Structure formats: C-alpha cells, structure tokens
C-alpha cells in the first residue's frame, strides 16, 4: 500500500507530501484543483511516459516519490530479488525525476534503474482504474486477457507450451510458403551455390571467432612482450644484472654465515636468491614458449576479416550468418527435390497443427470452466449494484488457431428480464459499463498481488442508489486492499475512512494546489457541498450527516 507520496513541481503542484492510510480514502474538491494530477503523478511511478508538459511552469524538473508497504507482496519481493535490488525493510522507495530535456531518472530503493523496470515492479503493487478503462469492455480484443487473468497460474504453463508449439507451426508454414515461391532454374541454383561457397570460406565448425580474437591479441602482444623481456634480461640476468650482483653479495657473507647471529639471516637471504632465480627462469620459460608466427598472424587476420564481411552481408551476428546458410541449404535442397521436400513439410505441418489443436483444446476446457464461474460471480455483483435483472455471460467459442489458442471470447449481457443477450459493446450504457468494470475489478483483484487500487472518477454516469452501491462496493474492496477514490458523488464519498480535500489557490500570481485532511466537521460540510453546491444550506448539512450516519451503521 502507499504510505506516503511526495510531489514537487508537477503540473500546478509546487510541493505536496501526502500521507495515506489503509482502508478507503476519498479525494474530493472543485474541478481543476488537481485531484487527477495526483493520480497522474502516481501514474508516472507506474511507468507512464514522461512528458515535459508535466513540469511546473518556470521550473526545470519535476519529482515524484512514494513509499510503499510491500511486507505481504511476494510478487514485488520476487521481482526485486530477480533484479538484484536490495530491500532491507518492508518498504519500497520509488521515485521519478522528470527533466526539461525530456529525459527522466527512475530509482528503486535509491538505486537508478531503467524506466522499464519501474514499469514491471510498481504495477504489481498499485492499479489505477479510470473511467477511460471502461472502454476495454467495448473492445473484444481485451476479453481473452481478462479471462486468462482470471484463470490464473493453472493456465500459464499450458499457455506457454502452446505458444512454443504454435511458433514452430507458424515458422514451418512460413518456410513452406517461402519455398513455394522459389522458381526451379539453374541460374537460381548457381546463385545459391555462390552464396554457400562464400559463407563456407569460414570453417564455422572448427573455428571459434572468440578464440581467433584472443589469438590475434596474443600475437599482437608479442612485440610488447619481447621488448619487456629484453630489458628484463638486461637488468636481471646478464653478468652485471641484479641476480649476479645479488649472488656476489651473498657470497660476501660466507665468512660470517656460521656465526650464530648471522646464520639464520644468511640462510633466509640465500633462499630468497634461489626463489628469485626460480621465478626468473619461469618468466623466461613462458617467453620461450611464445612463438610469433607471422604467417599465422596474417591467417588469423584474414579469417577475422572474412567473418566480418560475412556478418555485414548476411547478418550482424555469427548466428544469423549460420541461419542464412541453413536457409540457403534448405532452398537448394528444395530446388533439387521439390516434390519430396513439400511432402515432408506438409507432413510436419499436419503433425504440428494437431499438437497445437490438442493443446488449444486443453486451454479451451480451462477457459470454458473459468468463464462459467466468472459469469456467475459478475452477475451476482451486478445485482448488488442495482442491475437486478442483469445476466452476464462470458462466451468461449472455438475459432482459428492463433498465438493464444483457438478461442474467441465475447462478453454478453442482458439487463432486462426476458430479453435476449447481446454483446456488451452493443448495449451497455456509460453507467452500466462503470458497474460491469467495477464488478470485474472486485473479482479479479482477489487474485493479484496488488495492494492499492485507485478509482479515478469511475462512477461517472451514475447517481442516487447506484452511487451508494458503488461506494459500498469500494468499501468492501477496502477491507483487503487500500482504496483511493476520486469522486464527485457524495454517496461514494460517505463510505471513506479518510477524506482528503484538494483545493487550488493563487500565490504570487501563480496557481498552486493544496491537499488537506478533513476533520469530522469539515467532512460533513464537504459532503453537504457535494449534495447542494457551493451554497451550503442547513438542509444539506442534515442530509450529509444522515448519509454519514447511515454508512457508519452498516
């Protein structure tokens, strides 16, 4: 959950430090005061694209930092471990600095990280749901992801197996199509043979580019080694060298070597001389083992030049050159034995397709079972949101093979008793979309590591008893998750455990934003204002107090 949020020079917020608690927190205030700006700031920590327009006018950078409690979030902890980021306590410290040159600096636990890593980790703890997310229900491309998310880990392993098989199947189909476009003629065969001959100039089986580079470096170092050894021998080994003089110095001590006070020191010095002589001999042995072969040096350079030329022509890596070689060999084999190759490919395609279908059928069984379960749960949630006669159904139909299986998903609904079901995208109103999406969130959140859910004006298009039911639903979610909610509806605001008021003011000809925690009296006044407008009447105050009392009694 979010414990603290610091925002500096972001849009119209000069500086604001907000402390959040568990349970449900509501943010209210006049339009344009900066409620959604706070959510935009949090969105930056989730990996939203940095934009210089977010930097406060007259400033050269903006800064957002949050402290998150991740004590129970195994998904985040696992990701941190995978990224080798230390986490000494139960808190996660994330920040993002937006610079005027368009760049940004992201940090996790005060360590600079790529923005992509921020985008991988923070969404495991925080989810922002805005009114615009409801449009996901108008596009059936999102339906399969939603259903698979509900299926959970039971589907993941099988789906990965299917994706691997489907990729092999797709590549074989593409290979067949490519070969079928080949024209059988001698000129084409000659061209492929010339390419193959060119690639075969380098013996990929017996030569290693890495070993050649290493050998080249050793050969290039020979001249430097030779120069150093010559100087070394001059100072160490020659008649007037250090070893010779060292030996003569020791011999000068021979006459006193048997005296008790010199004996041990003399022996130690004698050992040191022989150790020095031994190391010197080893150095020379290494040097004599080096063999500079000018012919080999030129040969290595030629081989490396050849591989560089092949990489420039056939691919930026050795692997891609080898892939091109295999492709050429396949085409040559095909042109030489066209009918047989096509028959073998057809056989392989049929086998691979059958394997994909078998795995896709297993995926279908899991999805179909999950679809029935989630359909029942969403229908129940919609009844609680005053869609008493609604019936929601996730339909899973078999279609063509794709990278996700062969299932086509459609979300169907009927909102009136006795009426046929239609696609959600065809019949749902804005208020109904809000309730359907809230029902989905309620169900899906139980299966995620997310500890903070942010609702940004998702109650648009509803009022009265529906707004009351939405507030009740958010309160229910807040029993297990931290809920932050921006709303204009007093019925929703009345369910909050904590009420923050966002206001704007003018200071030194500059618009600024302030976030205040409302006390019980101020909260009644704010809800009264939401009920009646800026002019707060006694009746509005009574209604506000009644609304809060009703909620407290639940």
pLDDT of residue 321: 85
Q: Helices 318-336 and 338-384 sit at what angle, rounded to 10 degrees?
A: 120
pLDDT of residue 554: 77
Tokens encoding 462: 């509803």
Q: In 290-401, where does DSSP find H-type helix? A: 294-314, 318-336, 338-384
Q: Where are the domains of the chain?
A: 1-125+451-513, 519-554
pLDDT of residue 231: 87
Tokens encoding 343: 């028959």
Query: Is pLDDT at 350 greater than 60 in this prediction?
Result: yes
Residues for the chain: how many in total? Answer: 554
260 class by beta-carbon count within 10 Å (0-12 exposed, 13-18 middle, 19+ buried): exposed
Q: Taking Cα atoms as reference points, which of 494, 477, 471 lies closest to residue 549?
A: 494
Whether 37 and 10 have beta carbons less than 8 Å apart is answered as yes
Average pLDDT over residues 277-296: 80
Out of 3.30.450.20, 3.40.50.300, 1.10.150.120, 4.10.140.10, the CATH code matching 1-125+451-513 is 3.40.50.300
In the structure, what pLDDT confidence band is assigned to residue 337 with cuts at 50, 70 and 90? confident
Query: Is pLDDT at 377 greater than 80 in this prediction?
Result: yes
Pairing of strands 422-423, 126-130: unpaired
Whether 2 and 128 have beta carbons less than 8 Å apart is answered as no
In the structure, what pLDDT confidence band is assigned to residue 87 with cuts at 50, 70 and 90? confident
pLDDT of residue 112: 94
Pick the most confident of 67-76, 255-264, 438-447, 456-465: 67-76
Virtual torsion, Cα 99, 102, 108, 110, nearest 10 deg: -30
Residues 6+ apart with CB under 8 A from 470: 385, 434, 435, 438, 458, 459, 462, 489, 491, 492
Tokens encoding 130: 């805005």
Query: Is pLDDT at 359 greater than 60 in this prediction?
Result: yes
Mean pLDDT, the chain, integer: 87
Virtual torsion, Cα 43, 45, 50, 55, nearest 10 deg: 90
The pLDDT > 70 percentage for the chain reads: 97
Average pLDDT over residues 293-309: 79
- Distance in angstroms (rounded) separating the CA atoms of residues 25 and 456: 12
Query: Is pLDDT at 101 greater than 60 in this prediction?
Result: yes
pLDDT of residue 172: 94
Determine which of 112-126, 270-284, 295-309 has the lowest per-residue pLDDT on average.
Answer: 295-309
Residues 6+ apart with CB under 8 A from 207: 303
Tokens encoding 314: 């056939």
Counts for the chain of helices (H) and strands (E), in that order: 18, 15
- Distance in angstroms (rounded) separating the CA atoms of residues 514 and 504: 6
Residues 6+ apart with CB under 8 A from 245: none
pLDDT of residue 366: 96
Higher pLDDT, 378 or 140: 378
Higher pLDDT, 182 or 164: 164
pLDDT tens digit string along 186-245? 577 788 888 888 888 877 776 777 888 887 777 777 777 888 888 888 888 777 788 888
Residue for token digits 């229910």? 476
pLDDT of residue 186: 56
Torsion over CA: 135, 139, 142, 143 (sign): positive
- Distance in angstroms (rounded) separating the CA atoms of residues 543 and 531: 8
In the structure, what pLDDT confidence band is assigned to residue 185 with cuts at 50, 70 and 90? low
pLDDT of residue 133: 67
pLDDT tens digit string along 469-508? 999 989 999 998 999 999 989 999 999 999 999 988 887 7
């Amino acid at each position: 959950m979010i414990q603290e949020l610091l925002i500096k020079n972001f849009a119209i917020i000069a500086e604001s430090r907000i402390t959040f608690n568990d349970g449900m927190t509501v943010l209210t205030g006049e339009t344009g005061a900066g409620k959604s700006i706070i959510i935009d700031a949090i969105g930056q920590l989730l990996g939203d694209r940095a934009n210089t327009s977010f930097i406060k006018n007259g400033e050269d950078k903006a800064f957002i930092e949050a402290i998150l409690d991740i004590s129970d979030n195994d998904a985040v902890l696992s990701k941190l471990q995978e990224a080798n980021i230390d986490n000494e306590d139960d808190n996660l410290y994330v920040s993002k600095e937006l610079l005027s040159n368009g760049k940004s600096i992201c940090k996790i636990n005060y360590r600079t990280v790529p923005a992509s890593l921020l985008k991988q980790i923070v969404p495991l703890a925080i989810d922002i749901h805005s009114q615009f997310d409801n449009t996901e229900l108008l596009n059936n491309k999102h339906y399969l992801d939603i259903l698979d998310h509900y299926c959970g880990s039971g589907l993941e392993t099988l789906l990965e197996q299917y994706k691997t098989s489907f990729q092999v199947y797709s590549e074989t189909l593409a290979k067949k199509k490519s070969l079928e476009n080949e024209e059988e003629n001698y000129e084409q065969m000659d061209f492929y043979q010339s390419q193959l001959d060119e690639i075969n100039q380098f013996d990929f089986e017996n030569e290693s580019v890495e070993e050649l580079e290493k050998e080249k470096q050793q050969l290039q170092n020979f001249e430097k080694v030779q120069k150093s050894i010559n100087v070394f021998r001059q100072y160490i080994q020659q008649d007037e060298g250090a070893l010779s003089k060292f030996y003569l110095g020791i011999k000068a001590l021979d006459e006193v070597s048997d005296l008790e006070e010199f004996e041990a020191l003399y022996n130690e010095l004698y050992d040191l001389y022989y150790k020095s002589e031994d190391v010197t001999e080893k150095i020379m042995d290494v040097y004599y083992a080096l063999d500079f072969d000018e012919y080999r040096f030129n040969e290595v350079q030629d081989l490396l030049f050849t591989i560089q030329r092949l990489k420039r022509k056939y691919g930026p890596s050795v692997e891609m050159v080898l892939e091109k070689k295999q492709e050429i060999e396949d085409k040559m084999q095909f042109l030489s034995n066209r009918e047989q190759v096509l028959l073998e490919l057809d056989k392989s395609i049929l086998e691979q397709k059958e394997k994909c279908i078998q795995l896709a059928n297993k995926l279908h069984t899991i999805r179909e079972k999950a679809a029935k379960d989630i359909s029942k749960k969403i229908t129940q949630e919609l009844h609680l949101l005053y869609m008493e006669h609604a019936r929601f159904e996730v339909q899973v139909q078999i279609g063509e093979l794709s990278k996700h299986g062969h299932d086509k998903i459609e979300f169907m609904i009927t909102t009136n008793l006795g009426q046929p079901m239609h696609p959600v995208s065809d019949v749902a109103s804005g208020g109904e979309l809000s309730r359907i999406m809230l029902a989905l969130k309620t169900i899906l959140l139980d299966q995620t590591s997310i500890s903070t859910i942010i609702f940004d004006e998702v109650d648009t298009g509803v009022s009265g008893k529906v707004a009351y039911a939405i507030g009740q639903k958010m309160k229910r979610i807040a029993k297990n998750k931290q809920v932050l909610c921006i709303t204009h509806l007093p019925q929703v605001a009345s369910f909050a455990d904590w009420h923050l008021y966002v206001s704007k003011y003018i200071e030194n000809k500059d618009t600024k934003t302030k976030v205040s925690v409302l006390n019980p009296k101020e909260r009644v006044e704010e809800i009264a204002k939401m009920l009646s407008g800026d002019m707060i009447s006694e009746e509005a105050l009574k209604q506000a107090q009644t609304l809060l009392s009703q909620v407290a009694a639940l």
